[in-house]
Each structure stands twice: as C-alpha cells, then as structure tokens.
A and B are shown apart, each in its own frame.
Chain A
Amino acid sequence: MSSPHRHNVIRIYKELLWLGREYPLGYKYFRDRLHKAFSARAGLTDPAEIEKGVRLAEYVKKEIEALYYLKKYRALKKRYE
C-alpha cells in the first residue's frame, strides 16, 4: 500500500469497526465481513482505485449511521405514539 493512503485507509477501517459494535447482527458478523471487504482490496496499487475504495467505505459508514438512527427512531415512535 502506498504511504499517502495508508493512514486514510486505516482511519476509515477503525471508524467502521467502532460503528460495528452496535451492529444488529452482532459485532463478529460485522467485523468478519468488514475484514473480508478490506483484505479483498489489499492488493490495490492504483491511487485512484484506493481513493474509490475509501469513498465507498465513507458511504457505507454514512449508511450504517442512518440505519442506527432509523432503528432507534422507529422503536421510540412505536413506544411513545
């Protein structure tokens, strides 16, 4: 992995791992899949491809945050309305 991207990739990996703690199907399920997704792209050398991967990871992060929010919102709406 080229060094300018190294930090960025590790950062987003850590952030996703952090998010995974609350994943509905369990942390292990999430971590295994996350690890697989990252290791499948470990051989990338083209900076453009790596950036694309990081952008995808950022997108997944936003999706998971939205999933957690909706899950909580729906549970509370059901209970309090």
Chain B
Amino acid sequence: MSLRILLPIKRVLDYAIKPRIASSRIDTTGLKHSLNPFDELSIEASLRLRESNPSLVSEIIAFTAGPAKSVDSLRTAMAMGADRSIHLELPADKELEPLQVAKIIKQLVEKEKINLVLAGKQSIDDDAGQTGQMLAGLLGWGQATQAAEIRVLEDGKALEVVKEVDGGTETVKGAVPMVVTTDLRLNEPRYASLPNIMKAKKKKLEKVKLEDFGIDVEPRVKILKVEEPKKREGGGKVEDVDGLIGKLKELGAL
C-alpha cells in the first residue's frame, strides 16, 4: 500500500527569540520567524520513510494556514523534500484555533486522499498540542502521539510507533490510515540547503481560501491576559546560625 502523506506545518516565532509582551499579547512584529521545530521532525520523518523504501510513499504534501509569509515555511518544507504544498492564506491578524485547523485538515485529507498525517506534536508558540489528536478524532483514525520511532509494518498497511511517555516509552501498533505526531527524539532534521531552496521555488504551491472550507472560524477561546514569568528574586547571605534562624522566623518557615 502506498502512503500519501500530509504534513501540517506552522510558521512560528523563532525558537531563539525571547517573546516580547505588549498590551497583554505577544508582539511578533518584525521578529524572526521560522518553521516550527516539531514540524521539521515530521517533515524529516516523511522523507526517511520514502528513503527507506521509495515505492512506499507516493506523495508528500505540506500544508499551512497562516499569513502571506507562511509561504517561507512551505518553501523550507519543499526544500527539505516535500513534493508540493498547499497554503491557506489568512489575514495577518487572524489566528485559527486547533479545532478549526483540524477541521480544515480533515477536508484536505479527504480531497487529497491522504492516508498518513505526520504532524509536529505542538507548535512552540501556542503550545496547545491538540491539532493532531482532534484530527484523528474527527477522521475516526488511529493515532500515535509523541513519536520517538516509526516503523513500517506489513508493507505499509500498519505502523509501529514508539511513543514518549512519562519516564519511558510506549510501543503501539496501528493500521494505516492514521495520525502520528512527532517528538524531539524522532530524528535529526536535515538543513534546507541553498541549492535545494532554489529548486523548491519550482515546486507546486497551491493557494486555497478559507471560504472554500465553509467552517466557522469565530474564536471559541478568549485570551484574557498574557504575562511574563515572575522574575527570580536574589538570595541573601546570613552571618551565623542565629542570623539564619532569625531569617527563617521572619519568613515564617519556623
């Protein structure tokens, strides 16, 4: 059975940048953005599936829903090795919630006859970690989240996935079609090299519109406040044991 893989990706604030908070929201204007690191892992995973057996994977499609600049992320995905991509362009101030994204991906899965969705386990900006799971629920497919290892069984009819769980791993087996979300230890993503980025410009990039999907995109969650973590307060030195006891009493610890 040949796999048709969909890679939902997201353009996020670069991991190395410290977010600024302005008027209770994260100000991202003018800051460097890049492809969500967990999505790089899912792209790499799809490429390794193809490299392990070229006849196993028939097509790898990258998809993103985001502002005009999200095209950069799709180009990176294609430079790494995805065959083509689909861009749902959103206005600059519009963010979709995981459920809405999952509903859109579901329609794409049906349209493109996808039988394996490889997604990053979460995006490093919202850290919701919900899209993959909701998608599996909506499609009625099996899912393996936080993958640390993916093995192909029965000529692509099933997958065995080693999942990261608290303090260890869990190995599950599921029949294709399924949704797999990727965790940090899965692989080492390749670097999108300059010549490959040039070549990726020739690959097909399809534009779709939000209206084509006919789903309700009104936000269901309202962000009330965004706060920075508390600054760490410096410690103090005490002269002797009495000083220590006095300090502890003062703080109510004794």
Which residues of A come within 8 Å of B, CB atoms?
11, 14-15, 18-19, 65, 68-69, 71-73, 75-77, 79-81
Q: Are B37 and A72 in contact (CB under 8 A)?
A: yes
CA distance A17 to B110 in the complex (A): 42
Q: Are A75 and B16 in contact (CB under 8 A)?
A: yes
User: Is residue B193 within 8 Å, beta carbon to beta carbon, of the partner chain?
Assistant: yes
CB-nearest residue of chain A to B16: A75
Q: Are A18 and B189 in contact (CB under 8 A)?
A: no
CA distance A78 to B253 in the complex (A): 31
Query: A68 contacts which chain B residues (CB < 8 A)?
Result: 191
CB-nearest residue of chain B to A16: B194
Q: Are A77 and B184 in contact (CB under 8 A)?
A: yes
CA distance A19 to B37 in the complex (A): 17
User: Is residue B188 within 8 Å, beta carbon to beta carbon, of the partner chain?
Assistant: yes
Interface size class of B (residues with CB under 8 A): 10 to 19
Q: Are B193 and A76 in contact (CB under 8 A)?
A: no
CB-nearest residue of chain A to B194: A18
Q: Are A80 and B184 in contact (CB under 8 A)?
A: yes
Query: A80 contacts which chain B residues (CB < 8 A)?
Result: 184
CB-nearest residue of chain B to A15: B194
Determine which of A14, A72, A73, A75 lies in contact with B194 in the assembled complex, contact meaning CB atoms within 8 Å. A14
Query: A15 contacts which chain B residues (CB < 8 A)?
Result: 193-195
Report the minimum CB–CB distance from B10 to chain A (whole Å). Answer: 15
CA distance A72 to B37 in the complex (A): 8
Query: B124 contacts which chain A residues (CB < 8 A)?
Result: 76, 79
Determine which of A65, A73, A75, A79 lies in contact with B191 in the assembled complex, contact meaning CB atoms within 8 Å. A65
CB-nearest residue of chain B to A64: B191
Q: Are A75 and B193 in contact (CB under 8 A)?
A: no
User: Is residue B15 within 8 Å, beta carbon to beta carbon, of the partner chain?
Assistant: yes
CB-nearest residue of chain B to A77: B184
CB-nearest residue of chain A to B164: A81
CA distance A18 to B188 in the complex (A): 20
Interface digits, B180-200 against A, CB 8 Å rule (1 contact, 0 not)?
A: 000010001101011100000
Query: B191 contacts which chain A residues (CB < 8 A)?
Result: 19, 65, 68-69
Report the minimum CB–CB distance from B4 to chain A (whole Å). Answer: 28
Query: B193 contacts which chain A residues (CB < 8 A)?
Result: 15, 18
CA distance A79 to B127 in the complex (A): 11
23 contacts between A and B (CB under 8 A): A11-B195, A14-B194, A15-B193, A15-B195, A18-B193, A18-B194, A19-B191, A65-B191, A68-B191, A69-B188, A69-B189, A69-B191, A72-B15, A75-B15, A75-B16, A76-B15, A76-B37, A76-B124, A76-B184, A77-B184, A79-B124, A80-B184, A81-B184
